[in-house]
Amino acid sequence: FIRIYKTLDQYDAKQGDLSNWLMRLARNLIIDDYRHRQRNPQNTYAEDVEDHSFHLKAVGGSMQKEMERRELARQVQEGIDKLPSDLRTCVILRDIEELSYQEIVELLQIPEGTVKSRINRGRIELAKILRRMRVVNM
């Protein structure tokens, strides 16, 4: 919201309506955040993966289990990073950021069918990548 407030003076009604401008701004913020995380690997998606969609919890709290959990999260992040950007964006928005299909449609300005297709293809491709990395057995 602060970013919106600070950049509101840059909005030009001649370029389109306010809701589209806000969606572009939100999309760009997500992309900026992703690029920042890529440049600063200590702030990785591994924490998001752990916290959100995969809920990888250490059993019994042992140090060994914690290390295994972190390694698995790192490998999943590595797999996500190997996805083509269009698939990766949709998978991250849905499975890590937990946005609804409609929110992704509005954010990316693409049809809902395209969003669902990219998420499905991204998940399938991620599973293949993780199998090749020997992270999962199937």
Percentage of residues of the chain with pLDDT beyond 70: 60
Mean pLDDT of 117-126: 92
Distance CA 88, CA 98 (A): 14
Which of 48, 42, 73 has the alpha carbon at shortest distance from 58?
A: 73
The pLDDT of residue 114 is 97
- Convert the pLDDT of each residue in 41-76 to its tens digit: 655 555 555 554 444 444 445 666 667 777 777 888
Distance CA 65, CA 136 (A): 17
Check if the beta carbon of residue 88 is closer than 8 Å to that of residue 81: yes
Sign of the dihedral through C-alpha 120, 124, 125, 130: positive
Check if the beta carbon of residue 22 is closer than 8 Å to that of residue 4: yes
Spell out the domains of the chain, with CATH numbers in brackets.
Answer: 2-132 (1.10.10.10)
